[in-house]
């Protein structure tokens, strides 16, 4: 089987603390939500719109314990893993689905404390403008790829 790929990569902020569950055999899992944002300009109204997407993150065993120890609500983290949709029978007899990201790798990027320390010291809001740039690039790259001499 296989010849397939199932990969998710997220950078986002924790929407809540890591919730741990311990199993009898000694294993454990940690769960926490991560928020990612997408921002775009509504073409009709010209206004800037931001959507937040929430992702259910699941970590196991040692990795879970490390996450619980070092991650808190508001922290920014990189998470890499596999998409998995669990299903179960609802009380009304219908099938319910819940999609999770089962973590295979992660890296802590910055704590909420850091961000606040910075916000208190900095005057310019770097992020808002900065990340709008990515979309800009996507368009311009394709168009000009052939006429730049390097």
Stretch of 41-49, 60-68, 111-119, 135-143 contacting DNA, by CB under 7 A? 111-119
- The three-state secondary structure class of 117 is helix
Residue 37 or 140: which CB sits closer to DNA? Answer: 37
Report which of 27, 1, 12, 4 is spatially closest to residue 82, judged by C-alpha positions: 4
From the CA atom positions of the chain, what is the Rg in Å? 20
Q: Kindly identify the residues of this chain, within the stretch 67-96, that bind DNA according to CB under 7 A.
A: 73-74, 76
For residue 12, the number of C-alpha atoms closer than 13 Å in the C-beta half-sphere is 21
Q: What angle do CA 29, 107, 84 make, to 5 degrees?
A: 45
Among 14, 32, 39, 89, binds its own copies (CB under 8 A): 39
Among 8, 10, 13, 103, binds DNA (CB under 7 A): 13
- The three-state secondary structure class of 64 is helix
CB of 46 to its own copies, least distance (A): 11
Q: Kindly identify the residues of this chain, within the stretch 30-69, that bind DNA according to CB under 7 A.
A: 33, 35, 37, 50, 52, 54
Among 16, 19, 73, 105, binds its own copies (CB under 8 A): 105
Give 116's DSSP letter: H
CB of 103 to DNA, least distance (A): 17
CB of 143 to DNA, least distance (A): 20
Stretch of 23-31, 61-69, 119-127, 141-149 contacting DNA, by CB under 7 A? 119-127
- The three-state secondary structure class of 104 is strand
Rounded Cα distance between 120 and 113, Å, is 11
CB of 13 to DNA, least distance (A): 4
């Amino acid at each position: 089987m296989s010849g397939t790929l199932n990969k998710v990569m997220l950078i986002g902020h924790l929407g809540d603390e890591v919730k741990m569950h311990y199993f009898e055999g000694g294993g454990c899992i940690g769960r926490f939500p991560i928020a990612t944002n997408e921002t775009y300009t509504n073409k009709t109204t010209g206004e800037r719109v931001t959507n937040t997407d929430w992702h259910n993150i699941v970590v196991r065993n040692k990795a879970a314990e490390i996450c619980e120890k070092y991650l808190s609500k508001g922290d920014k983290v990189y998470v890499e893993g596999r998409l998995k949709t669990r299903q179960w029978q609802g009380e009304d007899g219908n099938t319910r689905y819940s999609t999770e990201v089962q973590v295979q790798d992660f890296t802590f990027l910055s704590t909420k404390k850091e961000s606040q320390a910075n916000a208190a010291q900095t005057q310019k809001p770097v992020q808002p403008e900065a990340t709008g740039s990515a979309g800009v690039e996507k368009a311009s790259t394709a168009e000009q790829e052939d006429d730049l001499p390097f």
